[in-house]
Structure formats: C-alpha cells, structure tokens
A = this chain, B = another copy of it.
Amino acid sequence: MIQFRDQVRDTDREIVATLTAATGFFSEEEVDIARGLVEEALATGVASGYEFSFAERNEGATPHCVGYVCFGSIPATQSSFDVYWIVVDPAAQRQGIGLGLLKEVERRIRTLGGERIYIDTASRAQYAPTHRFYERAGYERVAFLEDFYAPQDGKLIFCKRVAPRN
C-alpha cells in the first residue's frame, strides 16, 4: 500500500540523493542537482518553485520512501508545469509506483490550475523504457533537441494536456 506525502522534510535530502544514485541513471552532478532542489524547497518553500510528492510504503512502524516526483509551475507561463524528476527505487520497480507517482503529480497539477505538463528526457537508448512509460501514460513527444546533453545525447520533450479541476 503506497501513500503520498507532499511535505518536504530535512531527511528528504538524503532520501532523494540515495534514490537518484540507486537508479544508476544519473551522474554525480545530477544527483547534486536533485538534492539541491530539496534544499531550495526547504529553504524557501513555495517560493522555490519546486513541489514534491514522496511515495511511501509502511514497513513496520516507519514509512519507507520508494520513489518521488519533483515538479513546479513554469515561470512566466499561464498554466504550464514541468515534471523535473520522477524516480523509483530500483528495488521497488515494476510494481506500478512510477505510474502512481505520475497520476499523483497530474492530480496535484490539475488542482493548481495546470493545463499542460512537460517532461524532458534524454533521447539515448538507455531511456527507451522511460519514453514508452510516458507514451503509455498519454504523453506525446513534442520536441527533439539533437545533441542537447552531449553529442549523440539529445533531449526529448513530452507533453500531456490536462483539464484543470475546478
């Protein structure tokens, strides 16, 4: 049974660093960036522009975090949001937790008045399962920036339109 927590806590710095590192997908620099977003959310709250949802599973008395998503409203847009990070513990993958996080972030974005959700990913083959995951969840490839991250490593932008909840 997975529950979602919105509030960011001091201990999430290490949770986020551990989860992102555990995937083997992210460089040390990227793990630092992920942790830095938690720092900003802790330091300045809503003003940071970064919102989080943590997926937790109860193990005995204490909840154990098995994934998280970081998102935010895109400055100077009327109703566009970015999903910056969506990460699931490799030990807890293939259990629908990624899809649960995506549904949860879509719910929160609609509640905040969002109408378009953008997700950037690397285009290289390692990310093909990620691309299929977004496509199955209703996201559409709207842009490809060749060599964006590095030679032969472009950026894909996915987008899903959602109806704001009144």
A residues whose Cβ falls under 8 Å from a Cβ of B: 27, 29-30, 33, 74-80, 115-116, 118, 142-151, 153, 157, 159
Does the CB pair A76–B118 fall under 8 Å? no
Interface contact B157-A143, CB-CB below 8 Å: yes
Residue from the set A118, A142, A146, A147 with the largest chain B CB neighbour count within 10 Å: A147
Which residues of chain B are within 8 angstroms of A147 by Cβ–Cβ distance? 115-116
Given A75-B33, A77-B150, A150-B78, does the pair A159, B145 have CB atoms closer than 8 Å? yes
In the complex, are the beta carbons of A149 and B77 less than 8 A apart?
Answer: yes
Say whether, besides A143-B144, A143-B157, A157-B143, A80 and B149 are in contact (CB < 8 Å). Answer: yes
- Cα(A143)–Cα(B78), bound, Å: 20
Pairwise interchain contact A77-B143, C-beta atoms closer than 8 A: no
B-chain residues with CB within 8 Å of residue A142 when the two chains form the complex: 143, 145-146
Can you name the residue of chain B whose Cβ is closest to the Cβ of A159?
B145
Our pick among B27, B30, B76, B148 for the contact of A80 (Cβ within 8 Å) is B148
